[in-house]
Amino acid sequence: MRRKYQPGLDRTVLRVMGIFGDEADFVTSAAKAWLDGTHGRSTAFDALPIAVQRRVVQLQLSALASKADYALVEALRTAANRPFAIMVSKKHGSALTRQLISRKPTGLLEMHPPAQKTPKFKTDSLTADLTKGAGEVLYDGLRVNWRILSRKWNYAPKYRAGYETFDAEKVGSSILLRHWRAGDRFQPIGMTNSIKLQDIFTNEKVPRSRRHELLVAANKRGEIFWVEGLRISERFKLTKQTKRGLQWRWLRI
């Protein structure tokens, strides 16, 4: 290249590199001083030289351990209050996560929390026939074993986790296993009236995401007699008049 262009090409290239390096150092110093508020940020971001604007954005992205490529820097520099997706690492060496970021009119970058998806009501269900004396069903990770017991119920069985006993006559010959749906009402044992299942979940501090995973059991008329994680319904409890009991055992697998 020296023979084709000029003998002092290597010295010229080094000189230009030195000039660019000095200018880059100055731009970086100016951007850091502006970010640190050394001069009280008397100069608005939009009034800064374009090179300084770019470096202001670059430095902030680097502090977030995010790749500051030219396209992203320019997008943030030229558009205020417009969110862009970036990949960031919370700790050095940790996995990257997708975040949204935007530049405020002041020039400072702002992270946005990821949008929370509202869980959707599930519409699937499973019908179980109770005309046989006993059986087992598996539905959405829940195994239910049941059997019909004919005898007098002068007292309720001792409570055990994962076990309940209902008045089989009130439940009927078939049941529907499904998830919570909008408008569902339930009358927990001991209460005189039914209330919205949503209100019960709120009172029991059941997380919103978990509410859509819990199963309920209803009879043919759509009356809910059992909700996973709660006690039985007052309307389906055993009484001295009960002739047949529906013994219900469930287990998450």
Query: 40 is written with which tokens?
Result: 């009280």
* Six token digits for residue 123: 């519409």
Total number of residues shown for the chain: 253
| Residue indicated by tokens 């299942």 | 197
Residue 149: count of CB within 10 angstroms of its CB: 14
For 9, the token pair is: 């090409």
Q: Which of 60-69, 162-171, 183-192 has the lowest mean pLDDT?
A: 60-69
Kindly give, in sequence order, each residue whose CB lies less than 8 Å from that of residue 21, ignoring residues fewer than 6 positions away: none
Q: Which two tokens stand for residue 117?
A: 């998806």
Mind giving me the DSSP string for 82-99? --EEEEE-SSTTSPPEEE
Q: With a cut of 70, say whether residue 20 has pLDDT above it.
A: no
How many percent of the chain have pLDDT more than 70?
A: 85
- For the ranges 38-42, 49-53, 72-76, 246-250, the lowest mean pLDDT is seen at 38-42
- Look over the chain and give the mean of its residue pLDDT values, rounded to a whole number: 86
Residue of 229 and 65 predicted with greater confidence: 229
Which has the minimum average pLDDT: 14-28, 49-63, 145-159?
Answer: 14-28
CA angle 139, 180, 219 (to 5 degrees): 70
- Residue 159 is predicted with a pLDDT of 82
* pLDDT, tens only, 188-216: 999 999 999 999 999 999 988 899 999 99
In whole angstroms, give the CA distance from residue 25 to residue 18. 10
According to the per-residue pLDDT averaged within each range, which of 1-10, 14-23, 125-134 is highest?
Answer: 125-134
pLDDT of 93 > 60? The answer is no
Given pLDDT bands bounded at 50, 70 and 90, which one contains residue 157? confident
Look at strands 125-129 and 134-139 and give their pairing: unpaired
Q: What pLDDT is recorded for position 4? A: 61
